[in-house]
Amino acid sequence: MPPKKQRQICHAHNAGGCRRGESCNFRHVGPAGGARSSAETTSPGPSTPQRASSSTGPPIRGGRSSNNTGPRRQNPPGLPPGACRDFWEKGTCSRGDFDCKFRHISPTSTQVADTVTSTPARMDFLTTGSLGEVAGSSSDVFTALQSHLSPTEAANHLKTYLNLTFRFTTPQNMYSFLKILNSANEKHDGWDLSDGQSFFMKIAEPGGFGLLRIGDILRSDASPNAGRSKTILSFQRGFIHALMYFSSAFVTRSTLDHLVNSLYTLIDEHFDNIVRVLNSCIPPLIMGRDFSDQSDLANGSLSGMELFSTLITVFHEYASRFKQAVASKPAFAPAMQSLVGWFMAWSDLVSQEPPMFTDSITKANLRNRKWLVEQLSRELETLRRVVDSAEGGTTRRVSRPNLGASRGITADESLLSRLQYTYDGPGAENRLNPEDGARHDNDFASISEIRIAPTYEELVSSTPNYLPANIPGAPHHLPGDSIERLLDIQFRLLREELT
């Protein structure tokens, strides 16, 4: 009878000890951690293949070498479960905050995933230096949070919500997710374009769970008086904050069009519910002359600038990206007509002296309030024209406030005066403050020097491009009766439309 086949040698026993002990299926030769006998090392059994030394191969994540034959690499002292070893030891990770599956925590801040970065309450758009940022393609200047997460903190938190098994069970779950989402704002300290785009790619990646989480919120019902209810989603704190991410600069100015379109597919899918929630929540707030949740003023505050800049941007982006949306959605035109009506009612009340609406915009003087309202009315009028063109003229024209009424001048004169007051020309030499220099490396007074394709600096610039007003008498750096002025206006406006 032939001898039984010899069992393989237990390498864990030889490396320092085997936790299976006598129940191990492999042979334990010699003392734990000791060298094998010469017979064992030179004459392996017929079924024991030669193996490479455990010292070969670079160490990989998890503490083992690439051939997986050596002992486990010991975790550094104090490493929390689920934390990234590289970030813990070196402070950096080659995978980045949003692509690493482990939490990025350092020894000096082990509670980083459970804290937020606090910033003082402020309204940047009311300061003189920020008025020029109001007119733009995002709502970030109005929606900056009082407290927000850093990119690393946002990445750590986000992993919980992008898990296959995660489900929202309470409105508080949604508020926590939205706090992460709204932390991605270009006005927040610590966030730059790279962070914003990495975050956006994680949220909107095809087949990921970020879109599912946002969709769960957009299909929900909401109340303007939810307070701190554990079952009812707040319109101010929850529903509208989901839409705010759609109108953020990291989304609307992204060059990743396929991901932006994927995100806005959620607006298309849940459009009817979005309109239903708006129709049920905004009218009673208008009647109460305050957009905030009176049951929870600490967390449910909302200003008209936040609300209308978000809705105008979202609906304009949606109509621009989904060309058939206006015609295919019966609720689109009525929704725009309602939006115009709500805006006119609010703008009239906040433009009075004293103001007749409780809103943070009333902290500004009357002159700045009317100017801010006029900027939104311009954007709403542009949106109205898009909808009106597709629907054959069913929406009301937006009436802009008469800024010159108190001084006895016409609206046209007031408009020209306002344009002159805010004019910031092209190139360093024509800027409102020449010491600021050019906006970017593609900002020139002469259109012959402007590259048609946007440059990188132009794309990441926080200052909007110079766009001249196509109105007789409006300020311009070229003579009013010259063909050069006409070509300059048409070139800049057409280029902005195409890019």
pLDDT of 411-421, one tens digit each?
A: 455 566 666 66
CA distance 92 to 104: 9
pLDDT under 50 in the chain at which residues?
1-5, 35-70, 110-124, 128-132, 393-394, 400-411
Within 8 A by CB and 6+ apart from 215, the residues are: 266, 269, 270
Q: H or E element: which one contains 493?
A: helix 483-498
196 in Cβ contact with 252 (< 8 Å): no
Nearest to 267 by CA among 297, 302, 239: 239
What's the pLDDT at 366? 87
What's the pLDDT at 59? 41
Phi, psi of 39 (to 5 degrees): -70, -35
Provide the pairing of β-strand 147-148 with 117-118.
Answer: antiparallel
What's the pLDDT at 55? 39
CA distance 259 to 370: 36
Per-residue pLDDT tens digits for 190-235: 888 888 898 999 999 887 899 999 999 999 999 999 988 999 999 9
CA distance 288 to 197: 39
What's the pLDDT at 171? 93
Q: How far is CA 353 from CA 248, 311, 373, in A?
A: 32, 26, 14
Nearest to 188 by CA among 215, 150, 160: 150
What's the pLDDT at 304? 92
What's the pLDDT at 168? 94
Nearest to 87 by CA among 112, 107, 69: 107
What's the pLDDT at 103? 66
What's the pLDDT at 31? 67
Phi, psi of 223 (to 5 degrees): -130, 140
